Amino acid sequence: MTSLSDLPIRDDLRGLSPYGAPQENVPIQLNVNENTHAIPEAVATDIVRALAIAVMGVNRYPDREFTDLRESLAAYLGHGLTPDNIWAANGSNEILQQTLQVFGGPGRSVLGFPPTYSMHSIIANATGTRWVTAERDSGYAISPETVVAAIEREQPDIVFLCSPNNPTGTALALETIVAAYDATPGILLIDEAYAEFADGDTALTLLEGRPRLIISRTMSKAFAFAGARLGYLAADPAITDALRLVRLPYHLSALTQAASVAALAHAPEMLAMVDDIKAQRDLIIATLPSLGYSPLPSQSNFVLFGGVADPHATFEALFEQGILIRDVGIPHHLRVSAGTEQETEIFLDALTSLKGHSTQSVADGVGRIQG
């Protein structure tokens, strides 16, 4: 049987592994930072109506410029943005890919600050862009001095900063973003996939007068739209013109556009669940120390916690109880998404049982979900 190594793939792809977050059919799935809340029924009904109308026209190609969607996204973001400032794609990963296709590629580099979103380096490799790294400060923060020193040392063509950062939940100060922009002659992309869960100011406030700044967003998290695959960015109109050079024709389907526009029309209802998710996140952070763990402060919809003697064993023990969280490869740490109140209770009960307490509440909880 032919194996991957037998194929004439690019030399720079040999030995690499694809993105591989586990997809398991278990009752409690808290491993990929999804919004586990269901879309409100009235909103779902309107989305289905929009899809029904769109289906009647799928014999034709969709609007290549996704005009209605860009108008809806600009209105949602505010900050004086217009549709000319907006670009969208099939998830924020495609936004990152198109950015690197335009501004990266062979002979160019992108600077990141691990631990950070794993797809940053994977997409860099896929586009032939050299991935270079720099260390964070203590507590996974990045100060203006740290980011400037790294940019001056590495001289990257692109800088990726994630705020709030995945997997740590750490938010960037706007001063750090301004310092990074001023230090680099190239593109600065701020990945704000979890911005709706953060308490601080968004980098959108910095866009005016900074034509090399890109703010990447997604509808996957706060909007509970992960399965719809809609990512977008805000930037100077010249950036969106540049991305048109590499986008595939009609890259956003008519169904994706229709569903996203319908969801954005119900933004207040869709975002009503954000406060509940933040409450569950804060409850996890407040409870974990009593169980002997060390949670990091988080401005996202997940919590990274340390003090785990054997992350793999803990991961497997939770999985056996129907709970899936994430081993992100940081020694003695695991990451858990903040889910519903019920899911949080079951997760915390399970961790308690692993510390030698009763497992009955965990069994009862999993039974409630399965039922």
Q: Give me the pLDDT at residue 114, please.
A: 98
Domains annotated on the chain, with CATH: 22-38+268-370 (3.90.1150.10), 41-265 (3.40.640.10)
Q: Can you tell me whether residue 160 is helix, strand or coil?
A: strand
Task: State residue 358's pLDDT score.
Answer: 35
Q: Give pLDDT, residue 16.
A: 78
Residue 367: what pLDDT? 45
DSSP 341: H
CA distance 58 to 175: 47
Please identify which residue in the block is written with the tokens 């950062």.
165
Tens of pLDDT along the chain (371 residues)? 788 888 998 888 888 777 767 777 899 999 999 999 999 999 999 999 999 999 999 999 999 999 999 999 999 999 999 999 999 999 999 999 999 999 999 999 999 999 999 999 999 999 999 999 999 999 999 999 999 999 999 999 999 999 999 999 999 999 999 999 999 999 999 999 999 999 989 999 999 999 999 999 999 999 999 999 999 999 999 999 999 999 999 999 999 999 999 999 999 999 999 999 999 999 999 999 999 999 999 999 999 999 999 999 999 999 999 999 999 999 999 999 999 999 999 999 999 999 764 334 434 444 444 33
- What's the pLDDT score for residue 356? 66
Write the CB contacts of 101 (distance below 8 Å, at least 6 apart in sequence): 127, 246
The pLDDT score that the predictor gives to residue 1 is 79
User: Token pair 């409630």 is at which residue?
Assistant: 368
Position 54 scores a pLDDT of: 98
Distance CA 367, CA 336 (A): 21
Does the pTM of the predicted model rise above 0.85?
yes
Closest by Cα among 282, 345, 354 to 27: 345
Question: For residue 362, what pLDDT is reported?
Answer: 39
In eight-state DSSP terms, residue 167 is T
Strands 158-162, 294-295: pairing is unpaired
